[in-house]
Amino acid sequence: MQGAVKRIRPKFMTVATDFIGLVPILWATGTGSDVMKRIGAPLIGGVFTSFLLEFVYPAIYEIWKWNFELKRKRKNNSELPGLIDR
């Protein structure tokens, strides 16, 4: 969780510079712009999606970790019969 928080600012800076560089490609109208637009649109979509997933990954990890700890707790309780769950 702490690593994800420290990663937000550098990720945002990277996304911002990518947008600044790629948006003019989408607005271009000169020679070759039709080809560059086809390259620029997926790049912007990929960068934006990767930025959004930066918020989703920690949540997925916490759910996975909670599930793993729950299974481990159940296994330990089943190995020690006679103990009362606390």
Domain residue spans in the chain?
A: 2-79
The pTM of the whole model exceeds 0.75: no
For 33, other C-beta atoms within 10 Å of its C-beta total: 14
How confident is the model at residue 71, as a pLDDT?
87
How confident is the model at residue 7, as a pLDDT?
84
Coil/strand/helix, residue 77: helix
pLDDT at residue 19 tops 60: yes
Q: What is the pLDDT of residues 20-69, one digit of tens each?
A: 999 998 888 888 888 888 888 999 999 999 999 988 988 898 999 999 89
> Residue type at 86?
R
